[in-house]
Chain A
Amino acid sequence: MNELATRLAARYGARGWHDQRADLATIVLDADRLRDALAYLRDQEGYRHLSFATAIDNIERGVFTLVYTLRSHDKGHSLIVHADIDRQKPVVDSIHLLWAQAWTYQREMKEWYGIDFPGSPRVDEEFVLEGWEGPPMMRRDFDSLAYSDATYAERPGRATSDPARHMKEQLYPEAAE
């Protein structure tokens, strides 16, 4: 497999090849060469099956990391391709022409992370949400619990006690704070 790593490095500046398992490796690319590299992997290297595409919000680094998982059934090998994009300007080349279902993933990423894929069909339509007014909800800085608490009524009447504090109140309330 390292030959593939060399080829990808030479052609597309890929780096950081990591063998997670015998049949799974990860590699990092620059976002602007992503589409070419994926096309190359599909057409020349036999990675014809796109398992899924998604993103990770690496908010600490200020980037979204894209995750494309390809599989070559001939080699019996899967390859996870990563590419970082700027969190402030999240725009990536669309791959909907490479795989006929890729636009769905891109629509999902647009809705969930706010990553734009210009030219991808229906990328601006709502996917799973309806009438959503909040920020893209899969971003790390979106707090699901806070949103839920503020939006949806909860059944009242719940209260819990911390055992240690309760025992202190009961057994040695005089102890100094």
Chain B
Amino acid sequence: MKKEKLRVIPPAERANPDLESGKYLLMWQGPQHPGITGNMSLKLIVEGDSVVDCETHVGYLHRGFEKLMERRLWMQNFPLVCRIAVPEPDFNEYCYAAALEELAGIQIPDKAVWLRTLSLEMIRLASFLMWIGGQAGAFGHGTIIQWSVTMRDYVLDLFEELSGGRIYHMYIIPGGVRGDVPAGFFKHVLEIMDTVQKNLDDIELVMFHNVVFKMRAEGLGYIPADWVDHYGITGPNARAAGVARDLRKDLGYLAYPRLDFKTIVGQKSDAYERARLRLLEMYQCIDLIRQIVDQCPKDGPFREKLPNPLYWKIPAGETYVAAECTRGEYGFYVASDGSDKPRRVAVRGPSYTHAVAVMERLARGVNIADVAGLMVSLHTYPPEIER
């Protein structure tokens, strides 16, 4: 019986429910709703307790980043970009910096490469830890968030030590990184990785063997493998569907080619599988961080000298730099017309497709209580949709 439930594919066409008939109820989930990821909303049409139609509404966090960036100097955009995604600002910083370096023809020192990789992996871990709390919470499991957010906080402590910022690190600056590792930092990293790993073991026991979580998450939000290209699905959502796609391997940026890791691929592609895959990726993060600490050069320059940021002009050109963030393909398209300000910066956030097109389809037929769990299982974050 369960087997069939696992393979439910929601219809591609939208239902056209007649709201006047009295059979349906229109209700909003969000923006002010505990079961929503960030400040966004879902417009649900429900029949009984199952969703007939779902529309994603975004824009509550729209600040017009792409417009603002066209008004600012190249270097002035550096503090701005990290605000596009609060839980993982470093991917923005990296993509923007890498795009600039590519257009300006700058080679960054090896140490900066390693520290950038470290920074990206640490924030990946932190973001996953935040997510797993949300995922458990969306299914009514309030314990996990108590642990995982604390673990995330420990990782943020590391960031504070390294970069001076807790949430917005502003560490990966065009040309390299902003500072060398402080004394004793790597030791702290390893200690905290041990703590987090111990906690992940607990989470695995408590969450993934929890009967309620299992029953509710299994079969929820099934994504067939052939959707991946059709919808532009990336990251763990694609990997859980059995498509081995990881930009860290595919693009081989930063120090990833020098690290030993395998792309983790799932099969069932439902909410449970996605959660499980992310848990495994958290272990992978910890492993990668340990490898980085091991291999990171202890000396050497951490940044390349840049021209005066007040007049820095980037040669005309365009590029697209992508990185594998926790949710998938995070990319910056940067076009320069040779002036001291960008001509166009476009941000490609993985949530763009996950939270809108994919979510709207997956929600069809779902029990209303599971909408929150489904939403979180796609791991979306609204600011990168609306920028």
Direct contact of A and B (CB under 8 A): yes
Task: Evaluate contact between B59 and A50: CB separation under 8 angstroms.
Answer: no
Q: Once the chains bind, are B250 and A80 in contact (CB under 8 Å)?
A: no
Which B residues lie within 8 Å of A78 (CB)? 320, 322
Instruction: From the candidates B232, B333, B343, name the one contacting A50 in the complex (CB within 8 A).
Output: B232
Decide: A104 and B356 in contact? CB cutoff 8 A: yes
| Interfacial chain A residues near B313, Cβ < 8 Å | none
Among A67, A104, A129, A145, point to the contact of B357 (Cβ < 8 A): A104
Whole-angstrom distance between the Cβ of A169 and the nearest chain B Cβ: 24
Interface assignment of A56: CB less than 8 Å from any CB of chain B: yes
What residues of chain B lie closer than 8 Å to A51, measured between beta carbons? 232, 320, 322, 329, 331, 348
Instruction: Determine the chain A residues whose CB is within 8 A of the CB of B227 once the complex forms.
Output: 100
A103's partner among B68, B230, B320, B357 (CB-CB below 8 A) is B357
Measured CA separation A142–B64 after assembly (Å)? 12
A21 within 8 A of B: yes
**Residue pair B319, A24 in contact (C-beta under 8 Å):** yes
Contact with A along B85-116 (1 / 0, CB 8 A): 00000000000000000100000000000000
Give 1 or 0 for each of B225-261: 1 = CB within 8 Å of chain A CB. Answer: 0010111101000000000010000110000000000
Interface of A is mostly: mixed
Closest residue of chain A to B348, judged by CB?
A: A52
Measured in the bound complex, the distance between the Cα atoms of B353 and A51 in whole Å is 10
B320 lies within 8 A of A69 (CB): yes
Indicate if the CB atoms of B333 and A52 lie closer than 8 Å.
yes
Question: Chain B, 47-62, contact with A by CB distance < 8 Å: what is the 0/1 string?
Answer: 0000000000011001
CB distance from A68 to the nearest CB of B (A): 11
In this complex, what residue of B is CB-closest to A140?
B70
> In the complex the two chains form, what is the Cα distance from A49 to B230 in whole Å?
7
Closest-CB distance, A62 to chain B (whole angstroms): 15
Tell me if A174 is interfacial: C-beta within 8 Å of chain B.
no
Q: Using CB atoms and an 8 Å cutoff, list the residues of chain B in contact with chain A.
A: 12, 58-59, 62, 64, 66-68, 70-71, 102, 227, 229-232, 234, 245, 250-251, 317-320, 322, 329, 331, 333, 335, 343-344, 346, 348, 352-353, 356-358, 361, 386
Beyond A51-B322, A101-B232, A104-B353: 9 further Cβ-contacts under 8 Å? A51-B329, A51-B348, A52-B346, A67-B346, A69-B320, A99-B230, A100-B361, A104-B356, A144-B64
